[in-house]
């Protein structure tokens, strides 16, 4: 749970940073204003920070605009309004913060039906639990937590099916990859052996330059899969993802383990601990953060991969990215629903990825990441 | 038994020295073999396929013998696929547009990335850290999400973001993907948006290593913005940005998703970047042999990129 608490601490820090930045800005501005009044600096020096900060804000807003645009589209309900040429809006249709106060409407009048369409019905299936040593069994009834039809949405999307497929691909990927990554990164970090540098170098080279190599091999991989009758197999896909995840994540975990001071191990060895105990009781617990990050990166690799999945899988096994792509060519799907689908897929990934990224960076001085 | 005998005994059963010195290699080998089996075996198979006339109808048929098991009913045709490529105008068109894309998109990415980094490290700008955290958000988004969103933004319909922007200036809706160079332009814009966070991160960390005293001293000496950029900023960021450009050029060369999702390299195959060309040749036109030959050409160029990156860059810094 240290990962969760670290994330909570980071969110706290981030939220604290916003008022701090405002306060800092206020103080500096007052200081500048004071200097200007006393004639120490001229008018250009007074307004330069204001103008350039505003310019930077405009730049950042411009860069982020496509994301905002998609969020806007997703919140426009049935999306009919976006097909019309009514021009541009800065806030979603019907958005009115006053509704929060007057009607207690938490969503302030925004239309969430596109998201309802994405999620669909939320149902806890009926479970049959046998009580051991007796013939009795308990059957729970099916519970519907949320019914899309109640909100006027018929035929919800296949999002949950796709998500389930993605999950059943990503979990075996993580398990297989971790089994080979953890021992290898320990050896690369702490031991000296033949070809050590060459292996490491090859991994880094593949990670940074060879992103498309897997794609170039796709014809052969597909032919091999087809020859072994493994197309449309989620497990075969997971094996492939796990293999492709080895170079980057071994290197990442190795870099992380490098930052653990060797004095801990030396102390344990002096006390007579055998090598496996040093690994089990010192290295692994101390590299928990690195393990968590590698876990996340491997999981996301399986969760987000598109090209191979699209080539190999058939519709009943589509993962989320393939499902997203299948939507875009269906012109019957309104843009609002497509946006909501895309956002529901991407937003959690983005938060998890960025937190993993910062979690690593805060955990160590990350040498070699940029080079 | 005397103590010396025991020591003798133990020594005799010790592993050979070369083995005990390299025992840790066995921790690395499983991962290495696992990885290589999905790179080396397909590579060998790809080389084999490129010398056959494998097509969907022949490749997956069972035929007797070792050749039949591996390649089905496909026949060995020698260098015919390569000869055909050299006489295929699509091959030259695809490579031409790919290198043009590498050139234009790298220039765009570097200018945008360095520009943003310079704005967001400038001492006049307040709230730099928050803005920097915000501006690298695209890095966390799944590629497939980003690219489908940009496809929507360049939608030919009136509600597309780009067309709404043009409507603001009174220009009618444009069918972005139906014109060769307009489509090429949209590829570049999307690639720039995908890759700028990487360049911003690298440039910002390089810029932060420049001591502010240097800028102050240059200012005192009366250097203007341009000459400060040339003599203080440039030397500091040149090496990291050069290296990042090599990496990002390799990424541009291997771009597949943007043309695939936007319009399948259209219109009329004009914008088929090389990986997409090989992919379509194999999976859409069912010419697996020719597709393999194209992919091998791409692999050779990716190998060249790797050599350049390894000799020019600081890759070895990570491998100590």
- B283 has pLDDT over 50: yes
Residues A270 and A177 placed together within one structural domain of the fold: yes
Tell me, yes or no, if A338 comes closer than 8 A to chain B by beta carbon: yes
B14 SS3 class: coil
The confidence band for A360, taking pLDDT boundaries of 50, 70 and 90, is low
Which helix (H) or strand (E) segment is A138 a member of? Answer: strand A137-139
In a domain, A107, yes or no: no
Question: CA B86 to CA B98: how far, in whole Å?
Answer: 16
- How many CB atoms are closer than 10 A to CB B245? 18
Please work out, in degrees rounded to the nearest 5, the angle formed at the alpha carbon of residue B216 by the alpha carbons of B213 and B222. 145
Residues B228 and B251 placed together within one structural domain of the fold: yes
pLDDT at position B10, please? Answer: 54
- Chain B's closest residue to A328, CA to CA, is B148
Which helix (H) or strand (E) segment is A128 a member of? Answer: strand A128-130
- A290 has pLDDT over 60: yes
Please work out, in degrees rounded to the nearest 5, the angle formed at the alpha carbon of residue A209 by the alpha carbons of A206 and A213. 65
Task: Summarize pLDDT for A209-221 with one digit per residue, the tens.
Answer: 877 888 888 888 8
Task: Kindly report the pTM of this predicted structure.
Answer: 0.83
The confidence band for A86, taking pLDDT boundaries of 50, 70 and 90, is very low
Contacts of B45 in chain A (CB under 8 A): 220, 223-224
Tell me, yes or no, if A291 comes closer than 8 A to chain B by beta carbon: no
In a domain, B299, yes or no: yes
In a domain, A310, yes or no: yes
- How many CB atoms are closer than 10 A to CB A228? 10
pLDDT at position B110, please? Answer: 94
Residues B65 and B112 placed together within one structural domain of the fold: no
B300 SS3 class: helix
Tell the residue number behind the tokens 């060369």, with chain if given.
B253
pLDDT at position A176, please? Answer: 93
Q: What share of chain B is helix, strand, coil (3-state, %, to 5)?
A: 75, 0, 25
Contacts of A370 in chain B (CB under 8 A): 201-202, 205, 240
Question: CA B111 to CA B108: how far, in whole Å?
Answer: 5
Residues A215 and A333 placed together within one structural domain of the fold: yes
pLDDT at position A239, please? Answer: 92
The confidence band for A81, taking pLDDT boundaries of 50, 70 and 90, is very low
Q: Which of B99, B106, B103, B102 minimizes the C-alpha distance to B243?
A: B106
Is B21 within 8 Å of B255 (Cβ atoms)? no
Question: CA A250 to CA A203: how far, in whole Å?
Answer: 8
Task: Summarize pLDDT for B71-81 with one digit per residue, the tens.
Answer: 777 778 778 88
Domain boundary pick from B21, B47, B78: B78
The interaxial angle of helices A196-209 and B234-253, nearest 10 deg, is 80
Question: CA B26 to CA A213: how far, in whole Å?
Answer: 26
pLDDT at position A335, please? Answer: 77
Provide the percentage of residues in chain B whose pLDDT is more than 90: 20
Domain boundary pick from A53, A74, A95: A74
Q: Which residue has the higher pLDDT, A278 or A333?
A: A278
Taking residues A21-49, report their average pLDDT: 82
Taking residues A199-210, report their average pLDDT: 84
Q: Are A350 and B137 inside 8 Å of each other by CB?
A: yes
The confidence band for B185, taking pLDDT boundaries of 50, 70 and 90, is very high
Tally of domains within chain B: 2
Task: Summarize pLDDT for B189-238 with one digit per residue, the tens.
Answer: 999 999 999 899 888 888 888 887 887 888 888 877 788 888 888 888 88
Tell me, yes or no, if B124 comes closer than 8 A to chain A by beta carbon: yes
Residue span of the structural domain in which A147 resides: 121-151
Q: Which of B108, B137, B151, B118 minimizes the C-alpha distance to B249?
A: B108
Q: Which residues contact B246 (CB under 8 A, 6 or more apart)?
A: B305, B308, B309, B312, B313
Which of A148-162, A179-193, B8-22 is the least confident region?
Answer: B8-22
Q: Are A217 and B243 inside 8 Å of each other by CB?
A: no
Provide the mean pLDDT of chain B: 83
Residues A66 and A130 placed together within one structural domain of the fold: no
Residues A129 and A204 placed together within one structural domain of the fold: no
Residues B63 and B100 placed together within one structural domain of the fold: no
Tell me, yes or no, if B66 comes closer than 8 A to chain A by beta carbon: no
Taking residues B170-192, report their average pLDDT: 89
Q: How many CA atoms lie within 13 A of B89 on its CB side?
A: 2
CATH number of the domain enclosing A325:
1.10.3720.10
The confidence band for A30, taking pLDDT boundaries of 50, 70 and 90, is confident
Tell me, yes or no, if B171 comes closer than 8 A to chain A by beta carbon: no
Question: Most A CBs within 10 Å: which of B28, B202, B219, as the mutation test of the A interface?
Answer: B28
Contacts of B120 in chain A (CB under 8 A): 56
Provide the percentage of residues in chain B whose pLDDT is more than 70: 88
The confidence band for A172, taking pLDDT boundaries of 50, 70 and 90, is very high
Omega into B267 within 30° of 0, i.e. cis?
yes
pLDDT at position B183, please? Answer: 92
The confidence band for B252, taking pLDDT boundaries of 50, 70 and 90, is very high
Question: Most B CBs within 10 Å: which of A80, A219, A336, as the mutation test of the B interface?
Answer: A219
In a domain, A87, yes or no: no
Residues B212 and B70 placed together within one structural domain of the fold: no
Residues A252 and A349 placed together within one structural domain of the fold: yes
pLDDT at position B3, please? Answer: 52
How remote is the C-alpha of A369 from its chain's centroid? Answer: 19
- A137 has pLDDT over 80: no
In a domain, A84, yes or no: no
Q: How far apart are the first and last CA of chain B?
A: 47
Which of B120-124, B146-150, B294-298 is the least confident region?
Answer: B120-124
pLDDT at position A69, please? Answer: 83
- Chain B's closest residue to A244, CA to CA, is B35
pLDDT at position A102, please? Answer: 65
A192 SS3 class: coil
CATH number of the domain enclosing B297:
1.10.3720.10
Contacts of B167 in chain A (CB under 8 A): 85, 87
- A42 has pLDDT over 50: yes
Q: DSSP for A43-104? A: HHHHHHHHHHHHHHHHHHHHHHHHHHHHHHHHTBTT-HHHHS-----SS-TT--THHHHHT-
- A241 has pLDDT over 80: yes
pLDDT at position A366, please? Answer: 39
Residue span of the structural domain in which B160 resides: 89-318
Provide the mean pLDDT of chain A: 79
pLDDT at position B13, please? Answer: 59
- Chain A's closest residue to B313, CA to CA, is A371
Q: Which residue has the higher pLDDT, B314 or A15?
A: A15
Residues A50 and A132 placed together within one structural domain of the fold: no
Q: Are B32 and A88 inside 8 Å of each other by CB?
A: no
Tell me, yes or no, if A314 comes closer than 8 A to chain B by beta carbon: no
pLDDT at position B196, please? Answer: 92
Task: Summarize pLDDT for B1-52 with one digit per residue, the tens.
Answer: 455 555 555 555 566 777 777 778 888 889 999 999 888 888 998 898 888 8
Residues A276 and A199 placed together within one structural domain of the fold: yes
Residues A68 and A184 placed together within one structural domain of the fold: no
Residues A318 and A284 placed together within one structural domain of the fold: yes
The interaxial angle of helices B25-37 and B40-50, nearest 10 deg, is 30
Contacts of B305 in chain A (CB under 8 A): 209
Cβ burial of A12 (10 Å; 0-12, 13-18, 19+) is exposed
Q: Which residues contact A296 (CB under 8 A, 6 or more apart)?
A: A352, A353, A356
Q: Which residues contact B264 (CB under 8 A, 6 or more apart)?
A: B276, B280
In a domain, A88, yes or no: no
Q: Which residue has the higher pLDDT, A120 or A239?
A: A239
- A297 has pLDDT over 80: yes
The string over A128-152, giving b where at least 16 C-beta atoms fall within 10 Å of a residue's C-beta and e elsewhere, is eeeeeeeeeeeeeeeeeeeebeeee
Residues A293 and A326 placed together within one structural domain of the fold: yes
Tell me, yes or no, if A33 comes closer than 8 A to chain B by beta carbon: no
Give B276's DSSP letter: H
Residues B156 and B55 placed together within one structural domain of the fold: no
How far does A101 lie from chain B, in Å, by closest CA?
30
- A364 has pLDDT over 60: no
Residues B101 and B200 placed together within one structural domain of the fold: yes
Q: How far apart are the first and last CA of chain A?
A: 32
Tell me, yes or no, if A24 comes closer than 8 A to chain B by beta carbon: yes
If phi over 0 gives left and psi between -120 and 50 gives alpha, with beta otherwise, what is residue A39? left
Most confident of A177-181, A302-306, A359-363, B81-85: A177-181
Whole-angstrom CA distances from B125 to A7, A22, A225, B128, B136 are 28, 13, 55, 6, 17
Which of B124, B128, B161 lies closest to A48 in CB terms? B124
Task: Please give the structure tokens belonging to residue B315.
Answer: 């890759």
Residues B93 and B63 placed together within one structural domain of the fold: no
């Amino acid at each position: 749970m240290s990962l969760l608490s670290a994330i909570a601490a980071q969110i706290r820090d981030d939220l604290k940073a916003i008022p701090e930045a405002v306060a800092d800005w206020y103080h500096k501005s007052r200081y500048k204003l004071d200097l200007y009044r006393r004639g120490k600096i001229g008018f250009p020096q007074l307004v330069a920070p204001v103008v350039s900060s505003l310019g930077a804000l405009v730049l950042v807003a411009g860069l982020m605009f496509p994301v905002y645009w998609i969020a806007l589209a997703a919140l426009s309900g049935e999306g009919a309004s976006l097909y019309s040429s009514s021009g541009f809006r800065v806030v979603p249709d019907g958005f009115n913060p006053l509704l929060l106060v007057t009607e207690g409407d938490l969503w302030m009048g925004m239309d969430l039906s596109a998201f309802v369409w994405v999620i669909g019905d939320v149902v806890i299936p009926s479970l049959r639990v046998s009580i051991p040593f007796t013939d009795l069994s308990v059957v729970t009834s099916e519970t519907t937590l949320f019914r899309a039809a109640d909100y006027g949405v018929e035929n919800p999307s296949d999002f949950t099916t796709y998500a389930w497929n993605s999950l059943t691909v990503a979990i075996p990927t993580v398990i297989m990859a971790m089994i080979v990554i953890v021992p290898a990164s320990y050896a690369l970090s702490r031991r000296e052996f033949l070809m050590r540098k060459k292996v490491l170098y090859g991994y880094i080279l593949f990670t940074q330059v060879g992103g498309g190599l897997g794609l170039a091999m796709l014809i052969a991989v597909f032919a091999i899969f087809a020859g072994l009758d493994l197309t449309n197999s989620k497990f075969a896909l997971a094996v492939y993802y796990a293999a492709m995840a080895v170079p980057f994540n071994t290197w990442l975990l190795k870099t992380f383990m490098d930052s653990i001071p060797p004095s801990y191990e030396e102390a344990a060895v002096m006390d007579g601990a055998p090598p496996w105990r040093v690994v089990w009781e010192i290295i692994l617990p101390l590299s928990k953060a690195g393990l968590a990050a590698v876990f996340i990166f491997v999981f996301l690799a399986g969760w987000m991969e598109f090209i191979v999945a699209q080539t190999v899988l058939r519709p009943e096994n589509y993962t989320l990215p393939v499902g997203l792509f299948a939507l875009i060519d269906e012109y019957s799907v309104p843009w609002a629903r497509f946006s909501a689908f895309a956002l529901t897929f991407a937003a959690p990934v983005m938060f998890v990825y960025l937190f993993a990224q910062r979690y690593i960076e805060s955990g160590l001085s990350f040498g070699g990441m940029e080079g | 038994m005397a103590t010396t005998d025991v020591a003798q005994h133990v020594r005799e059963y010790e592993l050979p020295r070369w083995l005990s010195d390299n025992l840790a290699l066995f921790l690395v080998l499983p991962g290495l073999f696992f990885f290589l089996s999905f790179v080396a075996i397909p590579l060998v198979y790809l080389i084999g396929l490129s010398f056959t006339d494998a097509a969907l109808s022949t490749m997956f048929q069972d035929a007797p013998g070792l050749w039949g098991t591996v390649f089905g009913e496909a026949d060995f045709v020698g260098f015919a696929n390569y000869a055909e490529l050299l006489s295929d105008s699509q091959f030259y068109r695809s490579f031409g547009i790919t290198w043009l894309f590498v050139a234009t998109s790298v220039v765009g990415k570097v200018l945008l990335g360095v520009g943003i980094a310079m704005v967001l490290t400038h001492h006049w700008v307040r709230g730099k850290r928050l803005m920097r955290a915000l501006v690298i958000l695209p890095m966390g988004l799944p590629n497939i999400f980003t690219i489908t969103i940009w496809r929507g933004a360049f939608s030919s319909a009136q509600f597309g973001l780009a067309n709404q922007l043009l409507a603001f200036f009174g220009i009618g809706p444009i069918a972005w993907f139906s014109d060769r160079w307009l489509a090429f332009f949209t590829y570049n814009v999307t690639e720039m948006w995908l890759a700028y966070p990487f360049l911003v991160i690298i440039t910002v960390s390089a810029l932060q290593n420049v001591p502010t005293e240097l800028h102050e001293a240059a200012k005192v000496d009366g250097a203007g913005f341009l000459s400060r950029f040339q003599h203080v900023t440039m030397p500091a960021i040149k090496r990291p940005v050069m290296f990042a450009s090599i990496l990002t050029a390799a990424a541009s060369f291997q771009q597949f998703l943007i043309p695939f999702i936007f319009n399948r390299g259209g219109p009329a195959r004009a914008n088929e970047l090389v990986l997409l060309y090989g992919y379509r040749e194999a999976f859409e036109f069912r010419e697996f042999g020719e597709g393999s030959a194209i992919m091998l050409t791409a692999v050779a160029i990716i190998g060249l990129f790797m050599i350049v990156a390894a000799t020019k860059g600081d890759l070895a810094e990570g491998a100590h």
